[in-house]
Chains A and B, each alone.
Chain A
């Protein structure tokens, strides 16, 4: 596909994901829409422009792996897996209903395409590291992608994994940080500041790229493997906006787990076109 066409396709998928995710959150009156919307362009780019997978063979050993470490953003993950063909759209209607496969946090035993259970923050990077080490041990060429929140990086487990990944020179390992600068209650920098985040990862032995996490072209470039591959793990710091795409949600901590009333829902649907 030509780059421009690819970017358009990804944008279309991302728009569908935002609309669908917000409908799920509205219907369930539960969810984490702010973090869904900051992550959706990143996840759409992975599934519709970068990753190698076959939804009919979710266990295919050579598949690229995506680990959703910020497991609360299930609106983003579940719509992506659905659009990628892992399960029918009908399933999305069961979001958080009794005995649904679409639990508030992803469960690999319920859904194809979910690589590991997440929800407690700071678990995805170590598990992804293990997947990448397994790839290195078996000489496989699959790539491992993991998405964390930025607030999530306050968990020490991430830095244990970051240190190991740097030391092991895992060139097929990519961490994307959803750098929306908000966590649950307020800003990351007023809670427990992360800056300078790029220097931290460089010091741990990683390549670092800082991009606009809503610029799909930039995401495609950063996430695509350079010719000849890499000799270090890559950390992409994706500068994003929490609640991106809906005017009254953007950059508002209250939309971390805020849910829309009917009027807000309608306004959002008018904006998401």
Chain B
């Protein structure tokens, strides 16, 4: 499929951290298995396959079967990491995800690769921008969206140890490591990447580093923007959102996803019912035109400058 974007210095493809971590975990825990749909390469599981050929179940191009097999492996005492392009893992197998994983409550880890619009020119069939809206209501599943390599590794380790269904949403777009002091991965908790009082930018995944850049841009104008890395979309850290609403009075949400029903939708649901404040939701409004990832980000304003613009707009909408 699409070639990964040219590598920038200091930017890393989180799939590498995923692959390293799952191999390490598998060394120490024989229960860990991987399940794929002809997606060994795109999941970067070539190394895993070499080390543990028997523990990689490739069902072929058959996502419904793949997710069902994941549930069965969990029933048989294994810890399956079901890894495939997010679009097919969540879209094609949605009922299996709902009934066999969420409702049945099996200890299955779904790992969505190349999520969002990472497949660029391959178009909306291959984009996974609806997955948040599809999975958020499946209340049993923890939806985790790492923002960088470190967080990817932590999330995978946590998921292996946690007993229950998890969806980890990865990209293939290279991202820089975030700079946060005393970092600790806390599922279900927002991470404050920058403090601020005028507006809060709530971002996840590939958008977090852009949100930080936007905050730097805003600082130069005397606007103090808080940046939250909302690495868990479900369950949502409602306390952090309430604090953002009451302390900064305006919110921008940024996600590499459809703005309907995802992070922005979740934040809007919570604030409108509890602490209504102006919200600007950034993401994709629906199916997108043909274009590379970079072009799509730019076209839909998913850049530091675009996020800063939305932040000013949100501040301008504050009452009084």
A residues neighboring B (CB under 8 Å): 28-30, 71-72, 96-105, 107, 117-122, 151-152, 154-156, 183-185, 188, 191-192, 257, 259
Contact = CB atoms under 8 A, between A and B. Distances in A.
A96 B121 contact: yes
A26 to B, nearest CB: 13
B58 A191 contact: yes
B162 to A, nearest CB: 30
B91 A104 contact: no
B173 interface: no
B60 A104 contact: no
Q: How extensive is the interface on chain B, given as a class?
A: 20 to 34
B290 interface: yes
Contact of A152 (B41, B42, B61, B290): B61
B18 interface: no
A183 B61 contact: yes
Interface string B272-308: 0000000000000000011110010001000000000
Contacts of B2: 30, 104, 257
Contacts of A259: 3
B61 A28 contact: no
B290 A100 contact: yes
A103 B88 contact: no
Given A98-B292, A99-B289, A120-B92, A104 B61 contact: no
Contacts of A151: 38, 60-61
Contacts, number: 96
B34 interface: no
A120 B290 contact: no
10 contacts: A72-B1, A100-B290, A119-B122, A120-B92, A152-B61, A154-B62, A155-B62, A184-B42, A185-B39, A185-B41
Given A98-B290, A257-B2, 19 more contacts: A29-B3, A30-B2, A72-B1, A96-B121, A96-B290, A98-B292, A103-B290, A104-B119, A105-B123, A119-B125, A154-B59, A154-B61, A156-B62, A156-B64, A184-B41, A185-B38, A185-B58, A192-B62, A259-B3
B295 A98 contact: yes
A98 B294 CA distance: 10
A97 B62 contact: no
Contacts of B63: 155
Interface in B112-136: 119-123, 125-126
Contacts of A96: 121, 290
B52 to A, nearest CB: 17
B65 interface: yes
A96 B2 CA distance: 11
A238 B88 CA distance: 27
Contacts of B64: 156
B15 to A, nearest CB: 15
Contacts of B59: 154, 192
A122 B123 contact: no
Interface of B: 1-3, 38-42, 58-65, 87-88, 91-92, 119-123, 125-126, 289-292, 295, 299
Given A71-B125, A120-B87, A154-B62, A99 B38 contact: no
A19 to B, nearest CB: 22
Contacts of A118: 125
B125 A117 contact: yes
A120 B123 contact: no
Nearest to A149: B61
User: 3 shortest A-B CB distances, which residue pairs?
Assistant: A192-B60, A119-B125, A154-B60
A92 to B, nearest CB: 14
A96 B91 CA distance: 23
Given A98-B289, A103-B290, A184-B38, A155 B121 contact: no
A107 B125 CA distance: 10
B62 A104 contact: no
Given A156-B64, A185-B40, A105 B291 contact: no
Contacts of A107: 123
B2 to A, nearest CB: 6
B56 to A, nearest CB: 11
A105 B62 CA distance: 19
Given A98-B289, A259-B3, A156 B65 contact: yes
B3 A30 contact: yes
Contacts of B1: 72, 257
A29 to B, nearest CB: 6
A257 B125 CA distance: 17
